[in-house]
Chains A and B, each alone.
Chain A
Amino acid sequence: SQQGEEDPQALSIQEGENATMNCSYKTSINNLQWYRQNSGRGLVHLILIRSNEREKHSGRLRVTLDTSKKSSSLLITASRAADTASYFCATVFQGAQKLVFGQGTRLTINP
Chain B
Amino acid sequence: GAGVSQSPRYKVAKRGQDVALRCDPISGHVSLFWYQQALGQGPEFLTYFQNEAQLDKSGLPSDRFFAERPEGSVSTLKIQRTQQEDSAVYLCASSLGGLEGYTFGSGTRLTVV
Within the complex, what minimum Cβ distance (angstroms) separates A106 from chain B? Answer: 9
Q: Does the CB pair B42–A99 fall under 8 Å?
A: no
Residues in chain B near residue A101, CB distance under 8 A: 35, 42-44
- Extra 17 A-B pairs, beta carbons < 8 Å, given A31-B99, A101-B42, A104-B42: A1-B44, A3-B42, A35-B104, A41-B106, A42-B107, A43-B91, A43-B93, A45-B103, A88-B42, A96-B56, A97-B55, A98-B45, A98-B59, A99-B33, A101-B35, A101-B43, A103-B41
Nearest A residue to B31 by beta-carbon distance?
A: A97
Whether A100 pairs with B45 at a CB distance below 8 angstroms is yes
B1 on the interface (CB 8 Å rule)? no
At the interface, yes or no: A50 with Cβ under 8 Å from chain B? yes
Residue-wise interface mask of B (78-113) relative to A, using a CB-CB cutoff of 8 A (1 in contact, 0 not):
000000000000010100010111111111000000
What's the interface size class on B, roughly? 20 to 34
Instruction: Determine if A13 is an interface residue (Cβ-Cβ < 8 Å).
Output: no
Number of A-B contacts (CB under 8 A): 60
What is the interface of chain A mostly: helix, strand, loop, or mixed?
strand
**Footprint of A on B, CB under 8 Å?**
4, 31, 33, 35, 41-45, 48, 50, 55-56, 59, 91, 93, 97, 99-107
Q: How far apart are B58's CB and chain A's nearest CB, in angstroms? A: 9
Contact for A98 among B41, B42, B48, B101, CB less than 8 A: B48
The residues of B that contact A97 with a CB separation of less than 8 Å are 31, 48, 50, 55-56, 97
Give the residue name and chain of the A residue nearest to B4 (CB).
Answer: A42
